[in-house]
Chains A and B, each alone.
Chain A
Amino acid sequence: ILNVEQSPQSLHVQEGDSTNFTCSFPSSNFYALHWYRWETAKSPEALFVMTLNGDEKKKGRISATLNTKEGYSYLYIKGSQPEDSATYLCAFISITGRRALTFGSGTRLQVQP
């Protein structure tokens, strides 16, 4: 089983704060890294799929970077809003082995108004 780790496990910030969290994954045999947002009582929603070392993706106030050589990805949220409160999941797929994602346990973000 591949090891995908996310930190921190949970985070409380004030509205307007910028924040970031980390996803660590095996640096060998990389194929793709996914980020998902999972709001309470909803289904997980894809944010980004990243495939190239050095990739940077942006969606509104949320952006992500990827370093496949050292095996990490950062997710940034600029000017957090209460509606950003959710669990953020990363998931890794290797070019070898099974053709399915391995998910981290997530970072739970709460943004206080």
Chain B
Amino acid sequence: DVKVTQSSRYLVKRTGEKVFLECVQDMDHENMFWYRQDPGLGLRLIYFSYDVKMKEKGDIPEGYSVSREKKERFSLILESASTNQTSMYLCASSEGTAYSNQPQHFGDGTRLSIL
């Protein structure tokens, strides 16, 4: 079974802090994704990566950056946390390259609160 592990289930940070959310997958998947989920808005894509050191912006990249130095790890960085970044963050991975029709496998999510 694919395992996608997010470093924290719950995290509380202060406004202005630099925040790192880590995600690791154990199935050698090429594609990795970061989403945030807010009530009534579904999953919104922040950034994704289809290869090591490759990244593409999703729908809401402002205020975030990502890093993929190794295939199994995809990090989401909040450069200077703000209260409107309080949300549930989900990481996912999937097999295959361009326009893959493979399902995504999700981590358990990190509920991040910015005070």
Contact = CB atoms under 8 A, between A and B. Distances in A.
Contacts, number: 65
B103 A99 contact: no
A49 interface: yes
A101 B93 CA distance: 12
Interface residues of B, number: 29
A59 interface: no
Interface residues of A, number: 26
Given A98-B56, A100-B56, A34 B104 contact: yes
A51 B107 CA distance: 25
Nearest to A46: B103
Interface in A71-113: 89, 91, 93, 95, 98-106
A32 B44 CA distance: 18
Contacts of B40: 9, 105
Interface in A5-58: 9, 31-32, 34, 36, 42-46, 49, 51
Contacts of A43: 4, 90, 106-109
Given A34-B103, A44-B106, 17 more contacts: A1-B59, A31-B99, A31-B101, A36-B103, A43-B90, A43-B106, A43-B109, A46-B103, A46-B105, A49-B102, A51-B101, A93-B101, A99-B31, A99-B56, A100-B45, A102-B59, A103-B35
